[in-house]
């Protein structure tokens, strides 16, 4: 079996890879480098000059060849490698007639627990959305409790605003759901520490990404100073970065993204490294049904999985562009049984229903005109 066609499509606010073999099998992959899909598209087109004519089943070999084609690294390269890697796993599963999780070691679980992404930057929205999520069957929720306009708030006002939002969500759900606090890298260490101390009494499952990701050492230091479970890693790319993060100390949950951190080939290794540190995996994902499906295959197969990030965007109009999109059962998704990843892509309608570009190269500014933060 040989690869005949490698296509990259930057459409619908995302980038999709289509690989076709001489036996007629089509594999689909996608990047989670959502800010720069056009750059990923260009890299995949470069990859195509190598991939055409290759045996698609040599996934580990192709991963290493593509990753080491040049001395440059970063989100765009890793996003491109990830998209190709997912398509190759899709092909291999279809060729063998089995779901991809079967090739990753088989089932560690029959279904995958989800946590719902929701809004909650006011007490009213936090309470209403939390209550609705639990009523819909979710046993875990995640929201950003930082109030609007935080960049120009005093520290006391910021801490009080966050505390009020988290308290409202906890009061709404009681012990029926775990609460995850997504801080979106918005805070400085001097802000993050008092914020974490204020919300600890509400027993969050973990606090995620309180500070910028510029330094792995800084991530380790802040995690050791926050006396609450800590999670990060959604913007990291490699086993080497994740190992350094865990060695730096303090992180109890790692958050690799199969569309950014090297696809299933590499994220499976990241999960194993985390397991050796007694750290759990809470897979990052919020973009499309294809990336959700790829994440579910990983989640099913690893022992140290806790919960999968989930957006109801998967259930909206965008789902029409992804035939075979996995169906949620309350707060869970069952292990898929279709061969490969189990989800196809309809490129004809993707431009109509896809997301708008998530990062139109704008950053929020403080009242004094300075840059506030970058997501």
- Is 83 in the same domain as 179? no
Q: Does a structural domain hold residue 272?
A: yes
Q: Does a structural domain hold residue 371?
A: no
- Is 195 in the same domain as 329? yes
Domain termination residue (choose one: 85, 101, 117): 101
Q: Does a structural domain hold residue 367?
A: no
Q: How high is the pLDDT of residue 300?
A: 98
Task: Work out the end-to-end distance of the chain between its first and last CA atoms, rounded to an integer number of angstroms.
Answer: 42
Q: Over the stretch 272-308, which tens digit does the pLDDT of each residue have?
A: 999 999 999 999 998 899 999 999 999 999 999 999 9
- Is 112 in the same domain as 167? yes
CATH of the domain at 29: 3.30.390.10
Which one of 9, 184, 278, 297 is the catalytic residue?
184
3-state SS string for the chain: CCEEEEEEEEECCEEEEEEEECCCCEEEEECCCCCCHHHHHHHHHHHHHHHCCCCCCCHHHHHHHHHCCCCCCCHHHHHHHHHHHHHHHHHHHHHHCCEHHHHCCCCCCCEEEEEEECCCCCHHHHHHHHHHHHHCCCCEEEECCCCCCHHHCCHHHHHHHHHHHHHHHHHHHCCCCEEEEECCCCECHHHHHHHHHHHHHHCCCEEECCECCCCHHHHHHHHHHCCCCEEECCCCCCHHHHHHHHHHCCCCEECCCCCCCCHHHHHHHHHHHHHHCCCEECCCCCCCHHHHHHHHHHHHHCCCECCEEECHHHHCHHHHHCCCCCCCECCEEECCCCCECCCCCCCCCHHHHCCCCCCCCCCCECCCCCECCCC
61 catalytic, yes or no? no
- Is 236 in the same domain as 324? yes
Q: How high is the pLDDT of residue 366?
A: 87
Q: How high is the pLDDT of residue 357?
A: 55
Domain termination residue (choose one: 72, 101, 130): 101
- Is 117 in the same domain as 146? yes
- Is 84 in the same domain as 113? no
Q: How high is the pLDDT of residue 374?
A: 52
- Is 73 in the same domain as 167? no
Q: Does a structural domain hold residue 21?
A: yes
Q: How high is the pLDDT of residue 4?
A: 98
Q: Over the stretch 71-84, which tens digit does the pLDDT of each residue have?
A: 889 999 999 999 99
334 catalytic, yes or no? no
- Is 169 in the same domain as 308? yes
Q: How high is the pLDDT of residue 352?
A: 86
- Is 115 in the same domain as 177? yes
Domain range for 149 is 103-341
Which one of 61, 284, 297, 334 is the catalytic residue?
284
Q: Does a structural domain hold residue 374?
A: no
- Is 72 in the same domain as 110? no
Q: Does a structural domain hold residue 358?
A: no
- Is 223 in the same domain as 284? yes
The ranges of the chain with pLDDT < 50 are: 375
Q: Over the stretch 139-192, which tens digit does the pLDDT of each residue have?
A: 999 999 999 999 999 999 999 999 999 999 999 999 999 999 999 999 998 999
* Domain count across the chain: 2
Alpha-helical regions (H) of 200-288? 216-225, 239-248, 263-276
Q: Does a structural domain hold residue 307?
A: yes
Q: How high is the pLDDT of residue 187?
A: 93
């Amino acid at each position: 079996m040989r690869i005949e066609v490698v296509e990259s499509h930057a459409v619908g606010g995302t980038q999709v890879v289509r690989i076709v073999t001489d036996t007629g099998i089509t594999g689909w992959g996608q990047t989670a480098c959502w800010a720069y899909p056009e750059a990923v598209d260009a890299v995949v087109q470069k990859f195509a000059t190598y991939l055409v004519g290759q045996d698609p089943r040599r996934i580990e070999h192709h991963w290493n060849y593509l990753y080491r084609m040049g001395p440059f690294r970063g989100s765009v390269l890793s996003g491109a490698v990830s998209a190709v890697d997912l398509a190759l796993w899709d092909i291999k599963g279809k060729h063998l007639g089995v779901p991809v999780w079967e090739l990753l070691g088989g089932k560690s679980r029959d279904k995958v627990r989800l946590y719902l992404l929701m809004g909650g930057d006011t007490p009213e929205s936090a309470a209403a959305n939390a209550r609705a999520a639990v009523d819909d069957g979710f046993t875990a929720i995640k929201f950003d409790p930082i109030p609007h306009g935080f960049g120009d708030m005093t520290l006391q006002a910021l801490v009080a605003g966050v505390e009020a939002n988290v308290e409202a969500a906890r009061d709404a759900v009681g012990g029926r759901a775990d609460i995850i606090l997504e801080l979106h890298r918005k805070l400085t260490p001097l802000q993050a520490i008092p914020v974490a101390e204020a919300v600890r009494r509400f027993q969050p499952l973990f606090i995620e990404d309180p500070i910028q990701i510029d330094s792995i050492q800084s991530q380790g230091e802040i995690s050791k100073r926050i006396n609450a479970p800590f999670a990060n890693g959604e913007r990291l790319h490699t086993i080497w970065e994740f190992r350094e993060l865990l060695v730096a100390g303090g992180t109890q949950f790692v958050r690799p993204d199969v569309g950014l951190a090297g696809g299933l080939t590499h994220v499976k290794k990241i999960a194993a490294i985390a397991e050796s540190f007694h750290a759990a995996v809470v897979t990052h994902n919020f973009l499309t049904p294809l990336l959700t499906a790829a994440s579910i295959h990983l989640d099913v197969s690893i022992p140290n999985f806790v919960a999968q990030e989930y957006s109801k965007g998967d259930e909206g109009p965008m789902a029409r562009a992804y035939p075979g999109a996995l169906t949620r059962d309350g707060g869970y998704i069952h292990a898929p049984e279709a061969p490969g990843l189990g989800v196809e892509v309809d490129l004809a309608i993707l431009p109509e229903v896809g997301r708008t570009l998530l990062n139109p190269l704008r950053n929020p500014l403080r009242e004094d005109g300075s840059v506030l933060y970058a997501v």
